[in-house]
Amino acid sequence: MISDLTLQIRLQNMKSEDAFIVTLPTSIANNASVKDMLNRVFRVTEENKYVIKSCLDIHTNPDLLDIYDVLVQIFADNKAGRCSLKFLSPDHTEIHPNDPVYTTADGIFSMVLEQRYTPLDYAVRTGTWEDRNTLIEWLQEYALLYFINVEDELPNRLINLDTCSKFIDVVNRLHGKGMVDVSNPPNTFSLSNKGQCEINDVLDHMQAQLSQYNIFEDVLYDKDTNEVEFGTGRGANLIIQTLETERLDAVSLIFLKIMSETSPKDLNIDWRNAIQDEEFFEELIAPIADHDRIDECLINQVIETGVSYMIQTEKEFSEMEMIHKAQTFDETVIK
């Protein structure tokens, strides 16, 4: 039987002295696998968080409360599929979730937590994509259309068929859809009229949709008063959580937004090689999985407040515009 177990967790690259430390109640520590114990400690309920926080020695380290909240969110992200977790012992031996909890002689169970965001898997899990391959093909095709569109001099360069076979596959898929023209020699290409219209249309659609939600890029929420403020410069960027809550295609919208704000020169990449690499897209759409969030029970209230704020702001703007037009008319009549 385990009693007075002290759990010590630190994130990768975190100093040992900054680790999260808590001495667990017997009810949580007893007869538990690593997975069971962690689920009990970092379960996202107010009752559970209250129990664990009451066990923290905040007199010795006041930061433990904040560290605990960070860890709770990490485990929630893992449960939602936004990230993967790997558990290691201090000597970097892997700890498997179903392993029993082993402690040192003084009752300490110490582990290092490696977190890796998995936006592609999360996008497939929560979006409309049939599978990971379907999503990657879509990302490749629209990345190619965009890069050709913004880099006029690149499409006419010869492609090395040996090193860019996956790239050629993307070109051929788009050629089959009539969006890319392939010229002689066969390893040169350019946007077709259809391809040009397609990339323009999806970018215009993205900008039109996101413009309705820009207000949620800066949200300051006060849990004590339930007050919501927008545009303070001190708030959280909740636009992705808002898009997800509104059941919009956050993956496509955010991907196209990121693409429209960047270029191969900004990324310092050879884009023809980059779009062959899944890791490129993992990094590019990382915000899909790694973004600001508030409690699920609060986001609807924030959205309702934001919509009311936008309606009121638009009404005030219209009234000011009418007053300005009336003043201009009066001045014209007087003259």
- Tell me: the pLDDT tens digits for 219-268? 999 888 889 999 999 999 999 999 999 999 999 999 999 999 887 777 77
Cβ-based neighbour number of residue 316 at 10 Å: 10
- Has residue 319 been placed in a domain? no
Q: What's the pLDDT at 2?
A: 47
Based on the domain organization, do 189 and 237 belong to the same domain? Answer: yes
Q: Residues in the chain with pLDDT < 50? A: 1-2, 155-156, 329
Based on the domain organization, do 144 and 205 belong to the same domain? Answer: yes
Give the integer Cα–Cα distance in Å for 115 and 12.
8
Based on the domain organization, do 272 and 130 belong to the same domain? Answer: yes
Based on the domain organization, do 167 and 232 belong to the same domain? Answer: yes
Give Cα separations from 88 to 12, 91, 109, 256 (angstroms).
10, 8, 11, 37
- Among the three residues 253, 268, 288, which one is the final residue of a domain in this structure? 288
Separate counts of helices (H) and strands (E) for the chain: 14, 9
Based on the domain organization, do 193 and 139 belong to the same domain? Answer: yes
Based on the domain organization, do 167 and 224 belong to the same domain? Answer: yes
Contact 178, 191 (CB under 8 A): no
Q: What's the pLDDT at 177?
A: 96
Q: What's the pLDDT at 160?
A: 60
Chain centre to alpha carbon of residue 169? 28
Based on the domain organization, do 52 and 144 belong to the same domain? Answer: no
Show the tokens assigned to 284.
Answer: 């590019």
Give the integer Cα–Cα distance in Å for 146 and 191.
10
- Has residue 33 been placed in a domain? yes
Give the integer Cα–Cα distance in Å for 45 and 49.
6
Closest CA to 141 of 249, 243, 256: 256
Q: What's the pLDDT at 333?
A: 53
- Has residue 86 been placed in a domain? yes
Give the integer Cα–Cα distance in Å for 44 and 267.
37
Based on the domain organization, do 147 and 187 belong to the same domain? Answer: yes
SS3 221: strand
Based on the domain organization, do 139 and 277 belong to the same domain? Answer: yes
For the chain, give the number of residues.
335
> 223-231 long-range CB contacts below 8 Å, 24 or more apart?
226/301, 228/301, 228/302, 228/305, 228/306, 230/306, 230/309
- The structural domain count of the chain equals 2
**What range defines the domain where residue 80 resides?**
6-117
Cβ-based neighbour number of residue 257 at 10 Å: 17
Q: What's the pLDDT at 217?
A: 95
- Has residue 198 been placed in a domain? yes
- Tell me: the pLDDT tens digits for 268-293? 777 888 889 999 999 999 999 999 99
